Amino acid sequence: MKLGVFGLNTKATMAPDTTMRMAARCEQLGYESWWAGEHVVLPTPRVAPSPMNPTDPILDPLVHLAFVAAASQRLLLGTGIIILPQRNPLVLAKQIATLDLLSGGRFVFGVGVGYLEPELNAIGVTLAERASRTDDYLSAMRAIWYDPAPVSFEGPHTQFSGLDAHPRPAGIIPIVVGGRTPGAHRRSTEQGHGWYGFFLTPEQAAEQVHALRAAASRFERPAALGSLEISVTPAGPVTRDSLQAYVDAGVHRLIVYPMPVADEAEADRFLAQQAELVLG
């Protein structure tokens, strides 16, 4: 079982000196990856299904992960997730290629379609278009990363021709698709190196793995993607019983979330306990 950590770009653990210490500590404890989520804006006052209060601080994941890259040597740097339809695909492709190159090929591109309508609308995206934009943007980004120049692309939301962009990424950027919907299962099968489920019990994880296997029987998976890697943020701390249940469900990576924590010391205790349990 691989072990990652999620959410240290928020609240009590987001300060620069804390991030530097926590990155070193996670590497010492054997963590394989560090994941950062995003919300660009939040509705105020808070309305469902917003996961955060509007005054809760959360750092931009790419800027935060660039800082973590400089503070670490081995940690994979994952977005868990970037709300892709809110981003310009060519600008984002440049940012990711830059971060991947500067980190020595450690970037993992976790994406989702988003679900918070006030946030999407504020950035100029509708709920109706979020899925089609996500598929379109992924294709456009792969084109500018990997196609020979001059690069051209024609999609429903993105069109360009006669372009090139350097530097290219250090290698193939792993794409991890987040979400529990049939669309996310299809996207994972067709375009993802991995799938990410957030705040799942072992039983829920098993249900999602079953749905992903069903999607694999309906949609074509490119051989170059290899086997689909399953990552899950558990619904609470991992226990010995739940660890085995996640293994039995087919999970390959647990991305633990130290929430809520009051300070760095409490986060450190949580991470040390989870590492001892999961990594032995």
**CA 206 to each of CA 94, 232, 247, 251, 253: distance values in angstroms, whole numbers, following the listed order:** 36, 11, 10, 8, 14
Residues 6+ apart with CB under 8 A from 142: none
pLDDT in tens, the chain (280 residues): 999 999 999 999 999 999 999 999 999 999 999 999 999 999 999 989 999 999 999 999 999 999 999 999 999 999 999 999 999 999 999 999 999 999 999 999 999 999 999 999 999 999 999 999 999 999 999 999 999 999 999 999 999 999 999 999 999 999 999 999 999 999 999 999 999 999 999 999 999 999 999 999 999 999 999 999 999 999 999 999 999 999 999 999 999 999 889 999 999 999 999 999 999 9
Task: State the CB neighbour count (10 A cutoff) for residue 217.
Answer: 7
CATH number at residue 30: 3.20.20.30
Range of the domain at 223: 2-279
Can you read off the two tokens belonging to residue 204? 């829920």
Rg of the chain on CA atoms, in Å = 18
Q: Is the dihedral of CA 43, 180, 270, 82 positive or negative?
A: negative
Q: Does residue 68 contact residue 23 with C-beta atoms inside 8 Å?
A: yes
Domain count for the chain, please give it.
1
How far apart, in whole angstroms, are the C-alpha atoms of residue 185 and residue 191?
10
